[in-house]
Amino acid sequence: MKPFDYYAPETLDDAVEILVQGAGDDVYPLAGGTDLFLRARFGEIAPTAVVNLKRIPGLAEVSRADDGSLHIGPLVTLNQLIASPLVDEHSPILAQTAGVMASRLIRNLGTIGGNVCRAAHYADLVAPLMVSDAGVDIAGPGGERRVPIAEFYTGPRETVLDDGELVTGIRVPATTPQVRSRYVNHMHREMVDLTIAGVAVSIRFDAQHRVCEEARIALNAVAPVQQRVPAAEKVLAGAPLTEESIAEAARAASEAIEPIDDMHASSWYRRKLIGVLTRRALQTLSSREDAKTPM
Amino acid sequence: MKRTLTLHVNGDNYDISVRPHAVLLDVLRDQVELTGTNESCRLGYCGACTVLLDGTPVNSCMVLALDADGRKITTVEGLAHGDALHPLQQAFVEHGAIQCGFCSAGMITSAAALLEENPHPTEAEVRYALAGNLCRCTGYVKIVEAVLAAAEQMADSSMEAERSTT
């Protein structure tokens, strides 16, 4: 890793100021560092300076807003997501997803903000955030704004973030007991590996927990950017969740995509995986088993 | 330009100066001169460099030394009490959980954090918690056995301690 300078601002304004001044000079915000330092060691990036965000108060907290939405600070670590009673109650899919990511050691460093901003096509939290209809809170030289997670990515490894802009939180809208969600992924190894295909599903059932009123399905690691699959969602909406409808939705999901092909898995294999994973994810919701039980 | 910081390592304070890009692993080994923490992959995969940061196990190759300023660091050297090995270290010796020994420091430090948080883990919980600590000799079976034995032994001695105080 080449030498770089270091800033540890104590306010968000100072951090934005440093990033604005450093725009174009490879100045990187530092959250968990697990990805930043990895890329620096591989020579993919050569930071001239890093701006450590950890001295800014409040960025590592989970809280509930007055409107019932969940606010997750960008520096909340993956293990914090797993341990947080608020996340468990409000958005268990995020805790469940964090539990399949990396190792315990890395989960103590890696953050939700880093996972989202890195814009990797295999970032596990993105598809679950998409089916949760999450928003990304952004602050920068031009003030604050909120962007739906589905509009946050503009292309492979590209986000809407402008020079000097930082993610200040992830907001997950209020939910109801009728909504159940699940993320299922596949890696070559059981643990400490990268996802080669993942499926996040979220179903809003009727009061009897029988008819699916609304379905959201988002796919991970099969395209340059995570994406919803409306063709599969449509199959499920307005009908009871049955073995037949699940099989049809799984088929629709795998047929709706043109998966990427790389050294980790072929396009053909990823398409097969999406069918299987979509079915498995939906099956966990159709039976009344606790959505938090690990696979 | 070098920066000064204070590291609290195993109960001692070290005032040192570092270059901003120095990672905790290198500073612990080269400046604090505690070489129990090992360097292996330097990519956050292998866990040989595991230390506890405020009680939380992390890969010290992935943490800037400056980011550890003022925080409590425990390395493998901080686990034993004088000449008395930590029950985990003792169990690793007794169960043959050490082959080449290169992963042992990280493995034991990681396991110490697990037992602190969960004194009675199941085998699956041990395997899950240690998934980020790789053993190149693949001696995992004995490692897991040793951690489970240490947990049992620690529970026994804490019960004894309770009995002797009542």
pLDDT in tens, B93-134: 999 999 999 999 999 999 999 999 999 999 999 999 999 999
Looking at the partner chain, which of B63, B66, B133 has a beta carbon nearest the beta carbon of A109? B63
pTM: 0.96
Is B133 in contact with A105 (Cβ distance < 8 A)? yes
Is A105 in contact with B47 (Cβ distance < 8 A)? yes
Return the pLDDT at B164. Answer: 80
Confidence bin at A290 (pLDDT 50/70/90): very low
Return the pLDDT at A269. Answer: 98
Is B132 in contact with A104 (Cβ distance < 8 A)? yes
Confidence bin at B166 (pLDDT 50/70/90): low
pLDDT in tens, B126-157: 999 999 999 999 999 999 999 999 999 999 98
Please choose, from the candidates A224, A64, A237, the residue with its C-alpha nearest in 3D space to the C-alpha of residue A156.
Answer: A224
Q: How many residues does chain B have?
A: 166
pLDDT in tens, B67-77: 999 999 999 99
Q: What percent of chain B has pLDDT over 90?
A: 92
pLDDT in tens, A208-265: 888 999 999 999 999 999 999 999 999 999 999 999 999 999 999 999 999 999 999 9
Instruction: Tell how far CA A107 is from the center of its chain.
Output: 14
Return the pLDDT at A293. Answer: 44
Confidence bin at B1 (pLDDT 50/70/90): confident
Contact assessment for residue A274 and residue A196, using Cβ atoms and an 8 Å cutoff: no
Confidence bin at A286 (pLDDT 50/70/90): confident
- On chain B, the residues whose CB falls within 8 A of the CB of A43 are none
Is B64 in contact with A33 (Cβ distance < 8 A)? yes
Please choose, from the candidates B136, B40, B35, B157, the residue with its C-alpha nearest in 3D space to the C-alpha of residue B91.
Answer: B157
Confidence bin at A295 (pLDDT 50/70/90): very low
Is B62 in contact with A109 (Cβ distance < 8 A)? yes
- Quick check: A104 pLDDT over 90? yes
ipTM: 0.96
Question: Chain B residues within 8 A (CB-CB) of chain A?
Answer: 3, 19-21, 23, 42-45, 47, 50, 53, 56-59, 61-64, 66-67, 110, 128-133
Return the pLDDT at B6. Answer: 98
Q: How far is A105 from chain B (nearest CA, A)?
A: 4
pLDDT in tens, A9-24: 999 999 999 999 999 9
